Amino acid sequence: MYPKPGNRKPLTYNSFGMNLSAGNLLLNLLVSAVGTGLFIYGKKQGRWPQMLGGILLMAYPYFIANLWLMAGVGVAILAGVWGAVRAGL
């Protein structure tokens, strides 16, 4: 049931699915900074689409390790906020 002591892999950050590459960390920082700015703007203006979009932009990079997927989800969230504002929400 349990692996034999000689067959265990060393416990590293990658064992948990985390990607600590420079590109991933920088993209995470950039997306989270945009999300923070969007959230602060939405809170000051009392606008729910911007607040929700900011919270989503701050939170989702913790769950996605792939750079291209992270960038695509960020663009989709921003497009959703843009569409909601254009729709008058």
Domain boundaries, the chain: 20-86
pLDDT at 20: 73
Cβ–Cβ < 8 Å for 58, 37:
no
Instruction: Write down the pTM of the prediction.
Output: 0.74
* Beta carbons of 36 and 58 less than 8 angstroms apart: yes
34: exposed, middle or buried (C-beta count within 10 Å: 0-12, 13-18, 19+)? middle
C-alpha span between 8 and 20 (Å, rounded): 22
Cα distance between residue 65 and residue 53, in whole Å = 20
pLDDT at position 2: 60
Instruction: pLDDT tens for the chain, 89 residues: list them.
Output: 565 666 666 555 555 566 677 888 898 999 999 999 999 999 999 999 999 999 999 999 888 888 899 999 999 999 999 999 999 88
